[in-house]
Amino acid sequence: MTVKCENRDKDKKRVFYNTEDCPIRNVVAQIGDKWSVLILFALVEGPDRFNSIKYRVVGISQRMLTQTLRDLEREGYVTRTVYPEVPVRVEYEVTRMGKDLVKPLYQLVSWAEKHHDKIKRSRKVYDAKVNVSSY
């Protein structure tokens, strides 16, 4: 696999450049934030309203939910539909591309669930070691 943001000479390690053509920096980094995956998982079950999403994604602030939904909409993973009712009703829904994205994310989540206990143990061992040696 060749990534458009890397320079790979035969005998050298990859160097990843911060360019507009880099799918790692421009796509993966966007969905790799703290909230995007959780919001996508909440919306993959069907369209939902802002307050319902906020209730289901525990710990997210109103401001962060607003910004993350805007970012997901900008990227094309989520659509926002405003219904001209009184009061106005707004729903968010995962797009076809968003659903395609969720598929490999489920694999990542499954991997995380499978290895979660091992990762927690590794962190505990590492933290104990670092606290003793204090770098």
Domain residue ranges in the chain? 32-133
Predicted pLDDT at 42? 95
- Per-residue pLDDT band for 1 (boundaries 50, 70, 90) equals low
Q: What is the pLDDT of residue 8?
A: 61
Per-residue burial over 81-100, b = 16 or more CB atoms within 10 Å of its CB, e = otherwise: eeeeeeeeeebbebbeebee
Q: Note whether 9 and 2 are within 8 A (CB).
A: no
Question: Residue 33: CA atoms inside 13 Å, Cβ hemisphere, count?
Answer: 16
Q: What pLDDT shows up at residue 69?
A: 98
CATH number of the structural domain 32-133 = 1.10.10.10
Is it the case that residue 106 has pLDDT exceeding 60?
yes
Which pLDDT score is estimated for 2?
58
**Are 17 and 3 in contact, with CB atoms under 8 Å apart?**
no
User: Which residues are within 8 A (CB) of 101 and not within 5 positions of it... i.e. 6 or more apart?
Assistant: 31, 40, 77
Inter-residue contact 77 to 43 (CB < 8 Å): no
Q: What is the pLDDT of residue 51?
A: 96
For residue range 8-60, what is the model confidence (pLDDT) as tens digits? 666 678 777 778 777 777 778 778 889 999 999 999 999 999 999 999 999 99
The answer to whether 6 touches 17, Cβ cutoff 8 Å, is: yes
pLDDT tens for each residue of 72-100: 999 999 999 999 999 999 999 999 999 99
Calpha distance 48→54 (Å, rounded): 10
User: How far is it, in rounded angstroms, from Cα 97 to Cα 81?
Assistant: 17
